[in-house]
Amino acid sequence: MSYRTAGSLRSVTLDDVRGAQKMLSGVARTTAMESSRHLSELVGAPVHLKCENLQRTGSFKLRGAYVRIAGLLPEERAAGVVAASAGNHAQGVALASSLLGVHATVFMPQGAPLPKISATREYGAEVRLHGQVVDETLAAAQEYAATTGAVFIHPFDHPDVIAGQGTVGLEILEQCPEVRTIGIGIGGGGLAAGIAVAVKALRPEVRIVGVQAEGAAAYPPSLAAGRPVSVLNPTTMADGIKVGRPGPVPFEIVGDLVDEVRTVSEDQLSAALLLCLERAKLVVEPAGASPVAALLAEPGAFPGPVVAVLSGGNVDPVLLQRVLRHGMAAQGRYLAVRLRLTDRPGALATLLGVLSAADANVLDVSHVRTDPRLGLTEVEVELHLETKGPAHCVEVGQALRQAGYTVID
C-alpha cells in the first residue's frame, strides 16, 4: 500500500480495506458478534456487541499494526520498527512484528501497568520505559527513529493503519447486514475512520457514531474548527481513547464520513464497563465500553439494529477494581456513609444490626478516635456498603436516622 497524503478527500478507500482484509487472513481473528438482551430492551431494537476485546493481543490494534508493517519495503523491515504506547498499540506492534520477523522497539511510559509491559515483552518487542506521560514517550520514540533509521509506526495517523482497522467494518456488515447504527470509541480516530470508509462505501445509509470521553474530547472542537486542535491535559480513565489531538489523516475521514461524535462521562463509562462484565460476561476496558456508555446515556438516539464496537479488553486489574466500585456507586449500588457513635462496648454491633435489618452488605469499616472534632466519648465510623440501587440507598439512610444515628455529609 502506498501512503497517500492527508490532502486528498479520501486518503483510504474501500479497495485498501479489502486488501487489508486479505493480508490479515490467518493473522487477525474474525471476532464474535454477541447480542445484548438488556441493551436491546433499553434501545427498543436489537443491539449487538462486536467483541474486539477478544481479538489477539486484546484489542483491534493488531489489525492496523500488521498491515502497516507488512507494507514496509525490505530495507525498512531490516531497520526495524519503533512505537510509543501505554498498552494496546504496543502489544499490536509487538505481535505483528514478531509474526513478520521484524525487530520492534516499543517505548512505554514509566507508569504503564505491569501486565501491559509484560505482555508487550512476551509478544517479542524490546520495551523501553521513558517519560511519565505518553507525549514524552512519543518524543523518545520519534528521536529513536531519527537516530537509528527504525520506522516509526503511528497508532492511528497513517492510511495503512486505518485500512487495517477498517476490516472491523467489513466484518460488521457480514455479521449484521441489517445494521443501521454503529457506535465506535474515538481517540486519535483510526478505528472510526477505517470502519467509516468500509461501511459508508457499501452501506452509506448506516449511521456512524463516534464516542469520546468528556475529559479527552478533542474531536468536537476540532470538527467545529475544521482542523485538528489540541485539548490540554486530557483526563479520563479510558486510556485507550485518551488522545489530546486528532491525527490529520483520520480527522479528514471522520469529518467527512462519521455522522456524529458524542461524549460520555466517567460515571457513564464506569456503568458501561460494569454492565459488560455483569450482563455480557465480557471483560472490557473503559475505552472499549464507551459506545455502550453512549447507549446507556441516551438509548433513544440510536436507530437499530445497533452494533457497539468493544474495541479492547486490556484493563489493568487495579484499575478494574477501582472502576467497578465507581460503576457500582454511579448505579447507586455502593454507598459510603460516615456517622458518630458513643465509644462503648456493643455500639458497633448495634449499628451493624441496623444495617443488616436494612439488608445492606457491609464491605468495609474504619474508625477514627483521635480527631479533634470528636468528643471525649465519641468515635467516627465510616462504612462502605453494597446496596441494591438508588431507592435502597435512601432506605438505608432512613433506617440509620430512625435508629437515632446522625449521618455526616
Q: Which of 59, 222, 270, 311 is catalytic?
A: 311
Q: What are phi and psi of 312, to 5 degrees?
A: -165, 160
Q: Is 36 a catalytic residue?
A: no
CA distances from 12 to 18, 297, 320 (A): 11, 32, 36
pLDDT of residue 315: 86
pLDDT band at 5 (very low <50, low <70, confident <90, very high): very low
* Residue position matching grid coordinates 452501506: 203
Is the predicted pLDDT of residue 373 greater than 80, yes or no?
A: no
Is residue 401 within 8 A of residue 354, CB to CB? The reply is no
Q: Stretch 31-55: mean pLDDT, rounded? A: 97
Per-residue pLDDT band at 9 (split at 50, 70, 90): very low
More confident residue, 386 or 57: 57
Mean pLDDT of 306-333: 83
Sign of torsion over alpha carbons 227, 228, 229, 234: positive
**pLDDT grade, residue 384 (50/70/90)?**
confident
- Give me the helix-helix angle, 159-175 and 61-70, nearest 10°: 130
Half-sphere exposure of 251 (CA within 13 A, CB side): 23
Whole-number pLDDT of residue 4: 37
User: Is the previous residue joined to 246 through a cis bond, with omega within 30 degrees of 0?
Assistant: no
Q: Which of 49, 26, 90, 64 is nearest to 283 (CA)?
A: 49
- Per-residue DSSP letter, 59: B
Greater confidence, 10 or 274?
A: 274
SS3 content of the chain, % helix, strand, coil (to 5): 45, 20, 35
pLDDT at 281 > cutoff 90: yes
User: CB within 8 A of 329, min separation 6: which ones?
Assistant: 270, 335, 336
Residue length, the chain?
Answer: 409
Q: Which amino acid is at 227?
A: R
- Please report the pLDDT score of residue 8 as a whole number: 39
Closest CA to 293 of 235, 213, 234: 213
Cα-based torsion angle of the residue sequence 9, 13, 17, 23 in order, rounded to the nearest 10 degrees: -110
Task: Tell me, yes or no, if 35 is annotated catalytic.
Answer: no
Residue 386 pLDDT: 85
pLDDT of residue 79: 96
Q: CB-based burial of residue 7 (10 Å sphere; 0-12 exposed, 13-18 middle, 19+ buried)?
A: exposed
Give strand pairing partners of 127: 106
Longest CA–CA span in the chain (Å) reads 79
Q: Could you report the per-residue pLDDT of 172-208, keeping only the tens digit for each?
A: 999 999 999 999 999 999 999 999 999 999 999 999 9
pLDDT digit string, tens, across residues 212-270: 999 999 999 999 999 999 988 888 888 888 888 999 999 999 999 999 999 999 989 98
State the pLDDT at residue 341: 78
What pLDDT shows up at residue 7?
A: 38
Percent of the chain past pLDDT 90, that is, above it, reads 63
The whole-number pLDDT of residue 34 equals 96
Enter the C-alpha cell of residue 23. Answer: 493480508
Residue of 132 and 175 predicted with greater confidence: 175
71-130 residue pLDDT tens? 999 999 999 999 998 789 999 999 999 999 999 999 998 878 888 899 999 999 999 999
The amino acid occupying position 323 is: V
Measured between its terminal Cα atoms, the distance across the chain in Å is 61
Sign, Cα dihedral of 257, 27, 55, 216: negative
Catalytic: which of 11, 59, 61, 270?
61
